[in-house]
Structure 1
Amino acid sequence: MNNGADPSAQKADNPRLSVSASDRRAGHYSQQLAPVLGFGPEKGLYNFTVVTALLDIGRGSWSNNQERGYNTYLLYMQRMLRLDVNMVVFVEPKGRPFIDWMRRGRTSRTHVVDVSFKALPYYRYRDQFAAIMESESYKEGNELYSSGKAEATSPEYDIIQLSKFYFMDRSVQENFFNTSYFIWLDAGYGHGADVHPKDGVWLPQNLFEHADQLTFIERAPGALYYESSKDRLHKMSINIIAGLFFGGGGQVVQEAYRRQQKELDRWLKHGIVDDDQTMYMMLYYQDPAMFHLVSGDWSDVFTLFNTH
């Protein structure tokens, strides 16, 4: 453990970010963003790895009140980047200066992976996703499509959401920090709200003892409530197994990625496409023992899983 501040803490320049006018009108930013000071001496727990990613899928130009610019997501990401943890960040080159600046003082606890959206394994399904979304059978009775939700109208959105297991699997394989437990946390978790530990220290609870399972937050009324409707979940506007956070040991993470690929093959064969949260529910129905579901809501990650 390095008990001194990282020398890089004073070297990086502050990248200038601006929030688009549309994001300001829509309220997609916070006036009270995280402090931008460098890290001091190490005080966290470093036996696990947090994985996240941020790629630009053009959401800044979306309509139907779903637009959020890339810089807005970087601003959201400030709070997450202040976590005093081992962190793997998959990001496009244009986002790297901001990541480097926010993580100054923790460069030894940070691994940034340059990646492009088109290089993601699931990008090869982009045209199939689009064709399914345009089919009449998919549109029929689809609450998500009729309300213009991204899950049913944007192939790019579903590709990036379904890629979370890919990012986790790759982090397990390369294991940059030699840990056995891995946590996914959305880059924009909290959307600028004050839901992260103020000092950045995360001392996990109710996670490591379930390392052979995937731990997720389960929102009411629970996954079992919808099991009888599982064949049409991809047309229902529900969010039960929250995809913004999950954790597990390396072995179960890799097994989940393998099973997701098998389920995705089934989806494409039957004209189904949706985001990660429906995927998690389908995998849960196939093997409930693989999951450790904890009752909670979107903003409860550090209430449920932090002892600090």
Structure 2
Amino acid sequence: MHQVTIVTAFFDIGRENFRTLPRSSEVYFEHFHFWARIQNPLVVYTSRQFRERILEIRSEFGLGDLTKVFVIDDPFAIQPEIFARMSEVSRDHWFRDFRLLPHATSGIAEYSYLMLLKSWFVSNAVSRGVTTETAAWIDFGFNHGGVAYPHTEEFDFAWRCEKDEYDKVVLFSMDEYDDRPIFEIVRRLSDCLMGAQIIIPSRRASELWDVNRESMQTLLRVGLIDDDQLIQMMSLRARPELFEVRRSEWFRPLKDVSGAALTLTAPQEPAIPLRPVRTLVRWSRRQRRALQSSARLYVNLVKGRP
């Protein structure tokens, strides 16, 4: 049996100012503190300003020696061409009008770029030689401070697995596999895969990053962007032999795979704020007007009118 190495990351991209589901850095650190007592090797990628705070939180639980924090001053310099193109697409009115919720968080370039980098962080940790045979990505804000697991003290355990227990990248799905075209999933924001937790055999981490990066580049070529959940879906379709998909519920996979005695409550997804709902109504009206205009043009052409 060996301990799973957990990889996570946190960079402040001003999410407290997002129109949809805003969260401050302080909220993220509250969420991290809730689960940071887990007794596994932990690798964190962050900016210089947060390094000591992360180490202090882990040291509070006597886990400083099991924690490595890698500072990246400019995460947008990791894949600058991809980020530049994502920024262009995020400002494109064709892309915004295409989506049912044009102001969704996954349409913000900074956010979806960092979500793409989840597999880069894991691959980088493997290349540094700081992971065990099995790595797992867990979001820095995992569990949202008690949404699914209400008792912080229950995270005082070590997640272990058998050597070579995981031969493939394990993704978790909250619904049946979605076989609709990718553009339709992007339009409706109807992902079925979850990104909060992914299990990655260390020897396959670079493969995952390669296929995730190619998936984002493919999406960008047709003028779209989305976050890691959609990118994992595209990667799954491109390399199905690399993945195993397991059904679960939001945040539940940790309990399913670790065997820990975690008390689980019914996860509560955050309600969609009123503003995006109004946006959806405006989008519908715009599309209706566009269709009516096209219909009138067609009739005029048929009747020979100018």
Determine the C-alpha separation between the residues in 2 that align with 1:265 and 1:93. 29
* Deviation string, structure 1 residues 45-103 (Cα, Å, up to 9, x no partner): 75321000011001112234x21111110111002311101110111122122211111
Does residue 198 of the first structure (1) align with residue 154 of the second (2)? yes
Does residue 171 of the first structure (1) align with residue 128 of the second (2)? no
Equivalent of residue 114 in structure 1, options 58, 71, 85: 71
Corresponding residue pairs, total: 255
- Whether contact under 8 Å (1:210, 1:292) holds in the other structure is no
* Deviation string, structure 1 residues 263-286 (Cα, Å, up to 9, x no partner): 222222211211000000111112
Match of 1:142 in 2: 99
Which aligned pairs between 1:54-93 and structure 2 lie closer than 5 A? Answer: 54-64=10-20, 66-93=21-48
- Whether contact under 8 Å (1:88, 1:110) holds in the other structure is yes
Determine the C-alpha separation between the residues in 1 that align with 2:187 and 2:39. 39
Determine the C-alpha separation between the residues in 2 that align with 1:139 and 1:199. 40
- Whether contact under 8 Å (2:185, 2:191) holds in the other structure is no
Which aligned pairs between 1:296-307 and structure 2 lie closer than 5 A? Answer: 296-307=248-259
Determine the C-alpha separation between the residues in 2 that align with 1:199 and 1:228. 38
Query: 2:136 is aligned with what amino acid?
Result: I
Give the 4+ runs in structure 1 shifted more than 6 A: none
Match of 1:253 in 2: 205
**Runs of at least 5 residues in structure 2 that lack an aligned partner in the other structure:** 261-306
Match of 1:263 in 2: 215
Shift in Å at residue 307 of structure 1?
Answer: 1.8
Q: 1:208 to 1:295 in 2, by over 3 A?
A: farther
C-alpha RMSD over aligned residues: 2.1
Match of 1:36 in 2: none
**Runs of at least 5 residues in structure 1 that lack an aligned partner in the other structure:** 1-44
Shift in Å at residue 209 of structure 1?
Answer: 5.3
Q: 1:237 to 1:268 in 2, by over 3 A?
A: closer
Determine the C-alpha separation between the residues in 2 that align with 1:199 and 1:212. 26
- Whether contact under 8 Å (1:204, 1:305) holds in the other structure is no
Q: Which has the higher contact order (CA 8 A, sep 6+)?
A: 2
User: Higher helix proportion, which one?
Assistant: 2
Query: 2:91 is aligned with what amino acid?
Result: E
Instruction: State the SS of the aligned residue for 1:227.
Output: coil
With structure 2 as the length reference, what TM-score do the two structures score? 0.77
Instruction: State the SS of the aligned residue for 1:228.
Output: coil
With structure 1 as the length reference, what TM-score do the two structures score? 0.76
Determine the C-alpha separation between the residues in 1 that align with 2:67 and 2:94. 45
Match of 1:294 in 2: 246
Does residue 130 of the first structure (1) align with residue 83 of the second (2)? no
